[in-house]
Amino acid sequence: MKRALHLAAVALLPALALGCQNLSPVIDGPLTVRGSIPGQDENPVLVSLPKSDYGRVFETLLQTLHDYGFEIAEANRYSGHIEAVPRVAPGVALFLKPGSPVTYERLLATLQTYRHRVTIIIQPADPQGAEHGGYFIEFIVRKELEDLNRPIRSTVGVAAFRNENTVDRQTEVIDASIYDQAWIFRGRDAAMEQELIGRFNCALARTP
């Protein structure tokens, strides 16, 4: 028994030595779904780099969002503002797709339609514009719940017998994209913000 435990401990050593590599921004496999919010990092996060590295920081942020499955809707280098295209949050069954790392949030996305709206704001740490002032980078991940009066094409509450003339029929294509959809703000996904911060820090550390 002791020999088996010793062999298991030796097998785990390479995984522990990977460190930051486990947070690679490239999604090569399933994400680790956790039951609670991971270790908290400061948000906004302070990046202590000179002004000459601003382009590298900005491009790393874009790459982090892209590798996490988001498309970029707006990216303004001058204002330091990045807006991603809202994306429907994956549920428990789609654990291979990057999304919230918390099991509870995944369960909510399974039972109801949620989407994530990601915004990144970059501000200089030194308002005087010193050469080595660094940057404050805030990651904002908003959760939005789809608001429908009733399910699409639902007949609940409609009378079973009608008096209208139904001879002239029209074929309708059921396509959710042709309907106006409203979304309700349901707070921020702190766990997903922490996931993006971790992936950004690791990607920035590996970027020359």
Nearest C-alpha neighbor of 74 from the set 111, 120, 105, 113: 120
Domain range annotation of the chain:
41-150+182-208
Give the Cα separation of 54 and 134 in Å (integer).
Answer: 9
What is the CATH T-level fold of the domain 41-150+182-208, as seen in this structure? Alpha-D-Glucose-1,6-Bisphosphate; Chain A, domain 4 (3.30.530)
- Model pLDDT, residue 41: 77
The burial class, CB within 10 Å (0-12 / 13-18 / 19+), for 90 is buried
**What tokens does 28 get?**
């090569």
Where do runs of H (alpha helix) occur along the chain?
2-18, 54-67, 103-111, 190-206
pLDDT above 70: residue 26: no
- Model pLDDT, residue 152: 57
pLDDT above 60: residue 123: yes
Model confidence over 166-187: pLDDT tens digits? 555 554 444 444 444 588 899 9
pLDDT above 50: residue 203: yes
CB-CB contact of 137 with 54 (8 Å): no
pLDDT above 70: residue 128: no
Q: Span 3-12, mean pLDDT?
A: 45
Supply the pTM of this predicted model.
Answer: 0.68
When mean pLDDT is compared across 1-5, 81-85, 103-107, the lowest value belongs to 1-5
- Model pLDDT, residue 39: 54
pLDDT above 60: residue 156: no
Mean pLDDT of the chain: 76
Percentage of the chain modeled with pLDDT above 90: 42
- Model pLDDT, residue 33: 42
pLDDT above 80: residue 38: no
In which band, very low, low, confident or very high, does the pLDDT at 161 lie, cut at 50, 70 and 90? low
- Model pLDDT, residue 16: 39
